[in-house]
Amino acid sequence: MTPYYQDDYVTIYHGDSREILPSCKWDVLISDPPYGISLKCDYKSRGRSKLASCKDYPDVRGDNVSFDPTWLMKYYERPMVLWGANYYADKLTNESGWLVWDKQRPEGIDQAACELAWTNVIKGVRIYRHLWHGMMRGSERGESYHPTQKPVALMKWALSLKWMPSEGVVIDPYMGSGPVLRAAKDLGRRAIGIEIEEKYCEIAAKRMSQEVLFGVA
């Protein structure tokens, strides 16, 4: 396989994760796949800019069909974190550990106040509080790359929890704009990202070329 981008820490592949991931050597998986909810990403056109500054994006590829994570379960013996798993929990194993991202949004809005992640390695329910409401953010202000973008800070937190391996290669088979890869690289970890949309491979590659912030949690 020819990487779309590669440096000393990060390798990015453009293509279908089902075809590419089996050929990769990795130790930890953390990802935010399409949930299968047919999310309409024309945020500005639908009036969400009245709440917070936003823009329109193309809809997420693959989000128009229910996400089936069973193909990843063959790797169950390895640590995994899957965001949005409340939408497809019936296809996952029952686990005691879940992650909760509190977006610190105001009550009463019609958008999710929190997001959930299934995990087979982290024990108990863990909460991370980080403002993420349109352009009102606790980090990455003005850096909007993807309609379902997650904070790099969130991924650093997840990777740094005591139950997660502190070494080994991190993989994200649904890379998007690359927050998992950016988090891993900032923590001095090697990482692999796979993304089917080339425009996001390009964006992620540019993010990876920025200065490394070793040890930042």
Classify residue 70 by burial, with Cβ atoms within 10 Å: 0-12, 13-18, 19+.
exposed
Instruction: Report the chain's mean pLDDT, rounded to a whole number.
Output: 88
User: What residue numbers bound the domain in which 186 lies?
Assistant: 5-208
In a domain, 64, yes or no: yes
Q: Any idea what the CATH number is for the domain that residue 31 is in? A: 3.40.50.150
DSSP per position, 29-48: EEE----SS----BTTTTTG
In a domain, 18, yes or no: yes
> From residue 154, how far is each of 20, 100, 139 by CA, in Å?
26, 10, 10
In a domain, 213, yes or no: no
In a domain, 215, yes or no: no
In a domain, 214, yes or no: no
Query: Can you give the pTM of this predicted structure?
Result: 0.89
Question: Does residue 110 or residue 75 have the better pLDDT?
Answer: 75
In a domain, 83, yes or no: yes
Count of positions (residues) in the chain? 217
Contacting residues for 77 by C-beta, under 8 A, at least 6 apart: none
Query: pLDDT above 70 covers what percent of the chain?
Result: 84
Give all strands (DSSP E) within 7-129, no chain letters: 10-14, 28-31, 80-83, 98-102, 114-119, 125-129
Q: How far separated are the first and last CA of the chain, in Å rounded?
A: 32
Total number of domains in the chain: 1
In a domain, 161, yes or no: yes
Q: Helix or strand or coil: residue 122?
A: coil
In a domain, 36, yes or no: yes
Per-residue pLDDT band at 142 (split at 50, 70, 90): confident
